[in-house]
Every structure is written in C-alpha cells, then in structure tokens.
Amino acid sequence: MAQYHGQIQLALAGFYDVLTTDGKLFRTRARGNFRKKDLKPLVGDWVTFSADTPNEGYILSIEQRKNSIVRPPVANVDQVIVVTAVKMPDWSSNLLDRQLVALEEKNIEPVIYFTKTDLLTEAESNYFSDIVAGYREIGYQVIWPEKAFDDESLDAIKSQLADKLTVLMGQTGAGKSTLLNHISPSLNLETGEVSQALSRGKHTTRQVSLIDLYGGLVADTPGFSAFEVFDMPARELGQYFREINDYASDCRFRGCVHLNEPNCAVKEAVAQEKIMPSRYENYKLFYDLIAGRRPVYNKHDKKH
C-alpha cells in the first residue's frame, strides 16, 4: 500500500476525508489501535495514511496537535473569529473575556467581530467606542461594522483567512451562521434564533468540514461559547490576560497574583486606567472561580 501525508478535511460517521499536500482527496478510516489509545482523529489533524484506492485508506498516525477545541471538534486552529453581540443577546464583557482567556490558553489568535452594532443609540455607540479602543490597545484585532455585515467588515474578515485554519465562535443568536453565510453565500447555513434554539441540547452528531475560503480553511460548523471551565491553576490565570502579563514583571513579588499584594504593578496600572476596569474585574472573578473550585476526584460522579 502506498503511504501519503495530508490533513483531515471532513469527519463523518467514522470516515475521514484527507486532502494530501498535492491536492488529492482520499476517504479513510482510523485503525482500531487509535481507540485503544483513546485518540480520535479530528478535522484539522495532519495524518499519515495508506491507501490503494481513493476510497479505501487507513490512517496510520496522527501528528502532534498544536491545539484542539471541542465545539466544533477541530485540531490545529490558527484563529477564532469571536462573534460578539452588543445587543440581543445583551453585551457581556465577562463572556468575551472568558472566550479570550480560553483561546489564549490554547494559543489561538482571537479576532473580535461585533454584531448588532446598528441597533445601538448614539450614546451606546460612544460607550462602545471606548471598549473597542481598549481591546485594540491590548493587541486584539477588533472589527466594528458601521452597518450589519457591511462590505468593509466582511473584507476585513476575508483578508484574515489566507493560510490559516479559522473557526467562528460565539453565543447563540450572536450571528455566527449569518456571518459565515455572508463570507460564503454558497453555504446556506441555517440561521435564526428559533432553529438555533431547537438544535441546542440535541445529541445529533453533525459533520464538521473545512472549506477553502479566500486562501485559507474555515470550519463550516460554528462553535458555541461553552467555556464554563478554566483548565489552568489560578496563579497562572494572569498569563492569559495580555495586559496583566505585560505589567506583572514589574510587581515587587515574584508570583504576585495581583489581588492583595503590596507594590503590585498591575493594580497600579488599573488605578492609572492603563488596564480596563472591566478586564481586571473579570480577572478577579475568574481567579475566585478557579481558586474556589473543588478538586474532582471522580469524573463519573454526577453529584456536585
């Protein structure tokens, strides 16, 4: 059997479509020894496989992943477009910062795309201009459409896609599927609050596939913002807030967690409004959440 190297483009019912580096598509299955190792191939994985025909390949090995996400199940993600509503559903800095921390921890670059901006009053727009400026100051790319899904904002997204594997993510109703449909009208993804509400909670396994868009690969299944759990120890949380991490080296105590310690450069930066108050408040909330978490001794124990 000939051996090939490629990236999984589609996972469906135990079959994996792999695109080789020279552009050939093979349908493969995973050998049983992956199950024994509790290792499941994911869309985005780079694999070595053997095949005699385009429809009868077997995955032999999976390259080490640089990261992976659960919803949708994709590996080796370069960036996530975090679709964030300013209204309907209501704006939440807590949710956005939760998503950003989770992505930073996985070493995935976030791009923040605000939706429903045309529903804001002038006063609300002015309030958000400070928020947008704050996130840009931290170093995040922020796309703020003047009108819903206007050409300028869509062009900004399209220019980000080349040579990257991209996933769209955000809470239900924020406009993920609508944004994907605007970037690629041929997708015709289901949109609307009702269809999304009905599909939530069902245990149907939808296929995930990568589509070639503007020189990059985009997952055609949007992800949800189900980041309830932080995996890192509380003392490491500050590493995943870029601006807190920047100031931390100037703190008096090594290992300062920027809460009650004296001569804390981070608290000083907050006092001087060099760090957004909402970001620091969310840092403290997340810290308390992690620090107060009881250790889980038995994953199968459903009692809390």
Tell whether the model's pLDDT for residue 69 goes beyond 70. Answer: yes
**pLDDT at residue 302, rounded to an integer:** 44
DSSP reduced 3-state for 28: strand
Report yes or no on 225 lying in a domain: no
Residue 19: closest CA among 41, 46, 38, 42: 46
Residue 182: closest CA among 108, 106, 83, 297: 83
Residue 82 and residue 195 in one domain: yes
**Under 8 Å CB-to-CB from 90, ≥6 apart: which residues?**
none
Of 87-101, 176-190, 240-254, the poorest mean pLDDT is in 176-190
Residue 206 and residue 240 in one domain: no
Give the dihedral sign, CA 61/64/69/74: negative
If you write DSSP's letter for every residue of 94-156 in order, what string do you get?
A: HHHHHHHHHHHHTT-EEEEEEE-GGG--HHHHHHHHHHHHHHHHHT-EEE--SSTT-HHHHHH
Looking at residue 52, the DSSP 8-state letter turns out to be: S
CATH code, domain carrying 184 = 3.40.50.300
**pLDDT at residue 303, rounded to an integer:** 42
Tell whether the model's pLDDT for residue 32 goes beyond 90. Answer: no
Tell whether the model's pLDDT for residue 205 goes beyond 80. Answer: no
Arithmetic mean of pLDDT, 146-161: 94
Report yes or no on 297 lying in a domain: no
Task: Return the H-helix or E-strand segment holding 192.
Answer: none
- Determine phi and psi for 156, rounding to 5 degrees: -65, -40
**In terms of pLDDT, which residue wins out, 94 or 33?**
94
Of 118-122, 230-234, 270-274, the poorest mean pLDDT is in 230-234
Q: Which range is most confident: 7-16, 30-39, 203-212?
A: 7-16
Structure tokens at 50: 């053997």
Residue 140 and residue 214 in one domain: yes
Residue 44 and residue 84 in one domain: no
Residue 8 and residue 42 in one domain: yes
Report yes or no on 259 lying in a domain: yes
From the annotation, which residues make up the binding site for GTP? 115-118, 170-178
pTM of the model: 0.87
**In terms of pLDDT, which residue wins out, 299 or 253?**
253
Report yes or no on 104 lying in a domain: yes
Residue 214 and residue 73 in one domain: yes
Residue 156 and residue 215 in one domain: yes
Q: Widest CA span of the chain, in angstroms? A: 67
Residue 148 and residue 240 in one domain: no
Residue 39 and residue 59 in one domain: yes
* pLDDT tier at 227, thresholds 50, 70, 90: low
Residue 213 and residue 195 in one domain: yes
Residue 41 and residue 54 in one domain: yes
Containing structural domain, residue 268: 234-291
From the annotation, which residues make up the binding site for Zn(2+)? 251, 256, 258, 264
Report yes or no on 90 lying in a domain: yes
Per the CB < 8 A criterion, the answer to whether 111 and 139 are in contact is no
**pLDDT at residue 61, rounded to an integer:** 94
**pLDDT at residue 74, rounded to an integer:** 95
Residue 139: closest CA among 91, 170, 100, 174: 100
From the annotation, which residues make up the binding site? 115-118, 170-178, 251, 256, 258, 264
CATH code, domain carrying 13 = 2.40.50.140
Structure tokens at 142: 């922020």
**pLDDT at residue 294, rounded to an integer:** 61
